[in-house]
Amino acid sequence: MLFPARRLNDSLGEPSRRAGRRRDPFQEAALELILASTSPYRRALLARLGLPFRSLEPRFEETAGRPGDDPARLVVQNALGKALSVVAECPGGLIIGSDQVAECEGEILTKPGAPQRAVEQLMRLAGREHRLFGGLAVVRAPGTPAPPSISNPSPEDGGVDRSAMSNEDLATRTALVVSHLRIRPLARAEAEEYVRRESPLDCAGAYKSEGLGIALFDHLRGDDPTAVIGLPLIALTRLLRAFGCDPLGKAPTP
């Protein structure tokens, strides 16, 4: 199901023009960076990279997990669907899509959406280890000047889908990041108090590990702590480099 795209305010200001400052790699490559998400968590995470970007609401309805669905495939498909849904809105852009679901003993958990469902999710996860799947997609929209080379990433770039399609007008790359988490045993009153205080209704698993939700856990294990929050920045910078943009590009010589 498609919805009209809605623009949000640009997330970062103009790149600095002072001598000796790091260049804007997107400006030099005539690229515009687009985040296909209205999530404040993802916007805040992407802002950490110091690259100017703007956000668009994706014209894509996430597929909810059903019994027997593969959560890894589900999150990657949703992330790619979000990015592709705004391609027509941003010719010449490099578009980021992301999605996240939790899985516990074969059950897929998405955003609870309501306090009662959030409490039930927490009680379902309490005392058990679960996996949090983060799907990521980067799409180079038609009309975007191609970088000098978009070859398959090297073996150390683990997590990149090497079956990604590519041609002179459109290229996509995807990644999957899986984290292993364990919520400690909880009394129902604790779960209710947490939901009342932090309202994690738009978070898969019904917690915000970057906030008060950290008090719920016995452990969090994974390759990228930002993946738990909602946008895996380690994988994202890997994909951006594959498209010819390194956020740590050299500063110009004064």
pLDDT for the residue 192: 98
Query: Terminal CA-to-CA distance of the chain, rounded, Å?
Result: 51
Q: Tell me what the mean pLDDT of segment 82-86 comes to.
A: 95
User: pLDDT at residue 253 above 70?
Assistant: no
**Of 8, 237, 66, 33, residue with least CA distance to 139:** 33
Q: How many CB atoms lie within 10 A of CB 34?
A: 24
> Could you write out the three-class secondary structure of the chain?
CCCCCCECCCCCCCCCCCCCCCCCHHHHCCCEEEECCCCHHHHHHHHCCCCCCEEECCCCCCCCCCCCCCHHHHHHHHHHHHHHHCHHHCCCEEEEEEEEEEEECCEEECCCCCHHHHHHHHHHHECCEEEEEEEEEEEECCCCCCCCCCCCCCCCCCCECCCCCECCCCEEEEEEEEEEEEECCCCHHHHHHHHHHHCCCCCCCCCCCCCHHHHHEEEEECCCHHHHHCCCHHHHHHHHHHCCCCCCCCCCCC
Cβ(151)–Cβ(116) below 8 Å = no
User: pLDDT at residue 36 above 70?
Assistant: yes
Cβ(90)–Cβ(32) below 8 Å = yes
User: pLDDT at residue 114 above 80?
Assistant: yes
User: pLDDT at residue 169 above 90?
Assistant: no
Question: pLDDT (tens digit, 9 = 90+) per residue, 198-217?
Answer: 999 999 999 999 999 999 99
**Catalytic one of 10, 69, 70, 99:** 99
Q: How many CB atoms lie within 10 A of CB 4?
A: 7
pLDDT grade for 19, boundaries at 50, 70 and 90: very low
pLDDT for the residue 21: 44
Q: Rounded mean pLDDT of the chain? A: 80
Instruction: At 117, give phi and psi (nearest 5°).
Output: -65, -35
Sequence ranges of the domains in the chain: 25-242
Task: Label residue 20 left, alpha or beta by phi (over 0 means left) and psi (-120 to 50 means alpha).
Answer: left
User: pLDDT at residue 125 above 90?
Assistant: yes
Find where tokens 């939901």 sit. 195
User: pLDDT at residue 20 above 70?
Assistant: no
Cα separation, 49 vs 52, in Å, equals 9
pLDDT grade for 30, boundaries at 50, 70 and 90: low
CATH class of 25-242: alpha beta
User: pLDDT at residue 24 above 90?
Assistant: no
User: pLDDT at residue 104 above 50?
Assistant: yes
pLDDT for the residue 31: 76
Question: pLDDT (tens digit, 9 = 90+) per residue, 138-161?
Answer: 999 887 444 544 433 333 333 333
99 is catalytic: yes
Return the structure tokens found at 210: 């970057």
Question: pLDDT (tens digit, 9 = 90+) per residue, 45-81?
Answer: 999 999 999 999 999 887 777 777 899 999 999 999 9
Question: pLDDT (tens digit, 9 = 90+) per residue, 7-16?
Answer: 333 333 333 3
